[in-house]
Structures are given as structure tokens and as C-alpha cells.
Structure 1
Amino acid sequence: MSPVPARKARPAAPDAAPRLGFDRVLGHARARAFLQAQRASDRLAHAYCLIGEEGLGKTTLARALAEELLLGGDPPRRLDVHPDFWIDDREEAIGIDEIRFHPEKGAPAHEQSLQQFLSLKPFAGRSRVAVLANAERMTEAAQNCLLKTLEEPPPATVLILTTAYPDHLLPTCLSRCQMVALSATSRQELAAWLRAVFEAGDQADALAGFAQGRPGWAVRALRDPAWFEGFSRWVEELAPLAFADTGTILLYASRFGQGPYAEQRLYAGRALRALSAWLRDALLVRAGMPDSASVPPARLPQLEAWASRVPPGHLQASLARAQRTQLLIDQNVNPRLAMEVLLLDLRVPAPA
């Protein structure tokens, strides 16, 4: 992948007044219009689920809706300190204690559990807003507990879930949310935004191509060149394992069991993001859409050669397994064992 200058992204000079709410959201015009229309007609749902790939801006849109509802026309304030706002956007799994009502104590990671927060009347406005980012992090017990809130929502509350993996949420939870699907931003719009807001200069086009319309990925790659370049290193190591023997795979997977447990999970997560991006690009190549792939042109021949050796059905199954493995690791499955199983399943079956 194209190198990125090792300099921190520098946002352009701010406007006289900070942009709030939907005005600061890149893309998602249809979703924004839908939510704005519901708000204008005073017909907001009690629960939404914003669905789209990782890095599309789901949490940004959720926070923007919260700003519209809580900050409104008041002087700019920080959403994170608003008394009627609650958010869980951590990387860790969400257990039942973060959700269920505790009469005399808070939650492990919050002063109040979600149900505690929603049970209280608005303090400074007309409603209380809660965001569960990457809601697939919830354990099954947590989801079943949340179901009670979805079935009998407290008055004057709006709950916003975001997820890249709706199939990892209970159907009963999804059915009680207003689902809003998000799509990728065009490369041209994303590149222009990177130039205007982050002064990305010549790197804007390369970053927009790598991110495939995902602003979150583009910004992270710009701010953290090592993260961006790490994708190339992971692909160089992981892609050949599709044709490796069992011993080689097990030896490689052993690295995911080294170091503190938190680092193991982080290490595996980076590998899974890179592998998922590579598999998605390979599917695009097999579908005759190489221009939509995120790899730079110089690496496209390598991708095409690799993809030609892997049946499309195996690519689809491997991508689904990679996504499932990330969920399992998020829910505290041993990273080394999870990666062992995934990488063994990644192997291309020998011809009959």
C-alpha cells in the first residue's frame, strides 16, 4: 500500500462556530434526510439501529442525532458531558451488568447502567438519548436484558444501536428497532473532505481508495501511518496461509497467544481487519469489479493472482468466518484458539 507521510493530520482552521448535528456528518444524505423528517414531524422512533460496514460513520451519525436532540439551538456544548446523554463505544464486550437496572449501584464501566439511565426523566431537555455503538459486542444475556427495554421503552427516550454485523444481534431486538442502512461515501467526496478538513493533500486520493468510502478508516490511516502500513504487512503474512500446511498455520497462529491478554485481542483484531479487507477485495476482483478494490494499483496484480486460486464460495465463507471470529474474540474467546480455527478453515481445499 502507498506510504503515508509520518505526520499528524492537521484539521483545517475551524469555522467561527463549531458545526453540530447533521451538519458535521459526511455523506449519508438519505439517512440524514430520513431522521430529520422524523424529527421535524415529531415521529422519532424509540429505538434505531444504524447498520453499515466498519468505519462508515455509524457512531458519528448516532452522535449527530443526539446533538440534534439535546443541543439543538442552544449555545455549543460538549455532548459527552450532557446529563441526558449516555454512550458505550468501548472495544470490550458489553455484559449484562452494563444494561440491566441496578437500584443502588452503577455499572462496571459506567456511573449508571443503560436501564438506570433511561429510567430517569430528562434533566436538561425533552428527551434522554443513549448510544450502544457496535452493539454486536453485547453478550446474549445482555441482549435479552435489552429486549425488555425495547419492548417497553421508557417515555421521552431514544436508543440508538450501531452495528456492522446485524446477524450477530437477536432478531427480536432488531425487529423492535427502526433499521437505517448506511452506505459508503464516494471516493471523490471522501478525498475532497480529507483535503478540506485534514489538509491531506496528495495523500487524499490514495487514502480514499484504501478506505473504500469509509471515513473512519481514512482518518485513522491519516492520523496513524503505522496502522495503515500494517495492513500491507498483515496481508503479506496471512494471504499465503490459504495454501500452507497445518504445521505452518499452527506455528503462525501461536503468535496470537503471546503477551498480555488485552494485547492478544488487539493483535488479533488488527489481523482480522486486514484479512477481511483482503477477502472483500478478492471477492470484488472475482466479481469483475477490480476498480472497487481498496488495494493500490501496484498491488492489484498480486490480488488478482491470489483471488484466481480461491473459489468464490470459499472467499465468501472465509469472509463470514473472519467476521464471526472478531465477534468471538470481542466476547472473550481465546484469541489464539479462535485464530487457529479461522486460519485452518482459510485453507483452500485441494482439488478433488
Structure 2
Amino acid sequence: MSWDLLGHEWAASLLKQHITHGDVRHAYLFSGAPGIGRRSLALAFAQAINCQSPSASGVPCGECRLCKLTEKMQHPDLSIVEADSEGGMLKVDQIRALQRSVMLSPYEAKFRVALLLNFQRANANAQNALLKTLEEAPKQVILLLTADSPDNLLPTISSRCEILRLRPVPIEKLQENLQSRWHCDPEKSALLAHLSNGRTGLALRMAADPDLVEKRAAWVDELLRLMPLNIRERFAAAEPLSKNRDQLRLTLQTWLSIGRDLLLAANGQSEYLTNQDHAEDIRALAMKLSGEQMVELLNSVDHSLEILESNANLKLLLENLLISIPRIK
């Protein structure tokens, strides 16, 4: 782990300045899409503020005991708070346990750091409970939150944090780095850069696990297979999707990318498609749908993803979505 985070150099520079000037805030919010590097940046910051042998002011050595244990998220002065499962909710009891732990003095580090991952999954009670910690935590406590967007947190939470909004890396830049730094071949680099939409972490996960690319292709095929079916047939075909919240989230995220790709293809911008390996299918589908139908598909999937984060009934959510997806012949 280090500050060498592709695309987030500006954020690393800002955080290093805070350390160098002795101006570290008591709470930070790292926001952006999953796989963009929120956790990596937060952990690099946690290393930097507690490193025992910094190579320069605000620059972690990466070799000392604190740096190594922080990278592994195993240091006793680093508390990790996240939902019990990928699709679960972060609950108030977890925040109350955190409140007790942060009141203790650091074991060996300068700061006790709490990393709250995907805090948009915290229910209202948990978010309200965190306010007490934000307001009353000792000076040696630093809270690091990650979330997809500040808008999905209570305003009273986000307003008390220094917010760093992380953005995707340009596709061309990510493609070049996948080849030069991570030794992916040109064809694979191009595909991963597009599929990840410039999210370095996601691209690297797909590079390390080819099954992720194959699963995503299957989710694309699932949408294409469903669109000619009537409602009854859709319900039957998609019923397995309602059994697993995590699987449904990933499926809908893929369908959302298809909706965007359809609009691009309809406007003659196929070179910008996310799903380049399905470019012919997307162009063919774009010719069968009106602009209004494409927008309806995009909005329906986006709305379903929002509802999914509220712990909604999966079967009902999926059925409502399937009703709204345009039918093709």
C-alpha cells in the first residue's frame, strides 16, 4: 500500500499536506463508485498518519510493523466496521461497539483509526449513532468513511467530514497502465478498462479473477434473453435472481451499463461502449428500441438499484423492474 494510486494523485497530495501541516481532520469521507479505490486510499492515509519510519513527511514507508498490519487491516489501532455480508446493512450495534473502542487510548500508534466501509449501507439508527462519535471522539481518533455518494448519507454525517470525491481514471490512461504496470496484454487491457469504466480496483479484480468477466457476460446475455419474453415468462426466467441480494446488485449494475451503452450506440458512439465484447448485440438492440424506451430502461434499473440498498423485498423489486423493461420482438 502506498500513495501511488492511479488517478487519485490529487487526493494523495491533499492528504499528505494535512499530515505535513499538522492539520489532519477528525473525519474523512471517501466517495465514489465501488472499485474506484476508496478503501485503498483510506488505508494508505491510515498508514501515512501512523507510520513509524516515514520516507518523507506524510509518506508511509510500507515496511514497518504498523504499515504492514494496516495494509492487512489487522492492526489493533485500526477498527474496521462494515456490513456482515456484501448485501447486508450496517447496524447500530456495530456503531455502539465502535464508540466503546475509540474511547480507549491507542495501543501503539499515534492515532486510533476507524475505517467504516460502504457506510451508505448503514441504517438510519446506525448513522444517527455515529453522530455521537463524530462529535465526541477523542483527538487521537480519526474516522475514515467510504460510501458511493455523500447524498446517500445523512447530511449531519457528511457535513462533519472532509469529503474526497474520487473519479474514474480516463479509459485510455487505465488501459495504458494495465499494460505497462500490471502486464496485461493489449486486448485484455482494452476490455478491462472499458468494463471497469475507469475504476482501477475493479479492473485489477477482473484481471485477477477471469470468472468475474465471464459472469458479467452472462448477466448481459440474461437481459438480452429476457427482453423478447412476456411478463409471465420473464418472472419465471428471472426468478433465481431474487434469491441473492449480492448477485442481483451485480446483475443490475451490469444492466445499467447496457442502458448507457444503448444510448451511446443509438448516437453513433460505439467506441465508448462499456461492454465492448457485446458491441454487435448492443447496436442491434439499439435499432429495435426508441430513445424513450432506452431512457425508460436506464431509469428503471437505476431506480431499482437505489431501492435495493434500502433492504427491499428482492422478489417484489425484481418483478416491478421486469414489468418496466421494454419488450422487443
- SS in structure 2 of the partner of residue 342 of structure 1: helix
Listed as ranges, the gaps of 5+ residues in structure 1 are: 1-19, 101-112, 259-263
The 3 A distance-change label for structure 1 pair 186 and 173 is same
Given that residues 133 and 163 in structure 1 are in contact (C-alpha distance below 8 angstroms), is that contact kept between their aligned partners in structure 2? yes
Instruction: Work out the CA distance in 2 between the residues paired with 1:288 and 1:171.
Output: 40
What's the counterpart of residue 246 of structure 1?
A: 231
Q: Which has the higher contact order (CA 8 A, sep 6+)?
A: 1
The 3 A distance-change label for structure 1 pair 325 and 253 is farther
Q: Which residue, out of 191, 194, 209, partners 2:194? A: 209
- 1:218, CA displacement in angstroms? 1.1
1:345 has 2:324 as partner: yes
What's the counterpart of residue 326 of structure 1?
A: 308
1:130 has 2:114 as partner: yes
Instruction: Work out the CA distance in 2 between the residues paired with 1:288 and 1:37.
Output: 44
Given that residues 276 and 322 in structure 1 are in contact (C-alpha distance below 8 angstroms), is that contact kept between their aligned partners in structure 2? no
What's the counterpart of residue 58 of structure 2?
A: none
The 3 A distance-change label for structure 1 pair 86 and 339 is same
What's the counterpart of residue 93 of structure 2?
A: 97
Instruction: Work out the CA distance in 1 between the residues paired with 2:178 and 2:13.
Output: 23
1:78 has 2:59 as partner: no
Residues 71-120 of structure 1 show CA distances to partners (whole Å, capped at 9, x for unaligned) of: 252643221222211123552321111101xxxxxxxxxxxx22122212
- SS in structure 1 of the partner of residue 169 of structure 2: coil
- SS in structure 2 of the partner of residue 129 of structure 1: strand
What's the counterpart of residue 160 of structure 1?
A: 144
Which shifted more, 67-76 or 128-137? 67-76
The 3 A distance-change label for structure 1 pair 150 and 345 is farther
Given the two structures, how large is their TM-score scaled by the length of structure 1? 0.78
- Letter of the 2:3 counterpart: F
The 3 A distance-change label for structure 1 pair 274 and 200 is same
Q: Which residue, out of 212, 215, 235, partners 1:230? A: 215
The 3 A distance-change label for structure 1 pair 227 and 93 is same
- SS in structure 2 of the partner of residue 338 of structure 1: helix
Given that residues 168 and 197 in structure 2 are in contact (C-alpha distance below 8 angstroms), is that contact kept between their aligned partners in structure 1? yes
Residues 295-332 of structure 1 show CA distances to partners (whole Å, capped at 9, x for unaligned) of: 21x6324324434624264245224213214313xx3x
1:88 has 2:81 as partner: yes
What's the counterpart of residue 45 of structure 2?
A: 65
What's the counterpart of residue 108 of structure 1?
A: none
- SS in structure 2 of the partner of residue 155 of structure 1: coil
Given that residues 50 and 58 in structure 1 are in contact (C-alpha distance below 8 angstroms), is that contact kept between their aligned partners in structure 2? yes
Residues 213-252 of structure 1 show CA distances to partners (whole Å, capped at 9, x for unaligned) of: 1112212211221211121221121245456432122213
Given that residues 194 and 275 in structure 2 are in contact (C-alpha distance below 8 angstroms), is that contact kept between their aligned partners in structure 1? yes
Residues 143-164 of structure 1 show CA distances to partners (whole Å, capped at 9, x for unaligned) of: 1111222233332211111111
What's the counterpart of residue 183 of structure 1?
A: 167
Given that residues 301 and 321 in structure 2 are in contact (C-alpha distance below 8 angstroms), is that contact kept between their aligned partners in structure 1? no
The 3 A distance-change label for structure 1 pair 159 and 278 is same
- 1:175, CA displacement in angstroms? 1.5
Instruction: Work out the CA distance in 1 between the residues paired with 2:32 and 2:303.
Output: 18
What's the counterpart of residue 128 of structure 2?
A: 144
Instruction: Work out the CA distance in 2 between the residues paired with 1:64 and 1:152.
Output: 25
Given the two structures, how large is their TM-score scaled by the length of structure 2? 0.83
- Letter of the 2:179 counterpart: R
Q: RMSD over aligned Cα, in angstroms?
A: 2.6
Residues 152-206 of structure 1 show CA distances to partners (whole Å, capped at 9, x for unaligned) of: 3332211111111433221221111111111111233323433344432242222
Listed as ranges, the gaps of 5+ residues in structure 2 are: 55-62
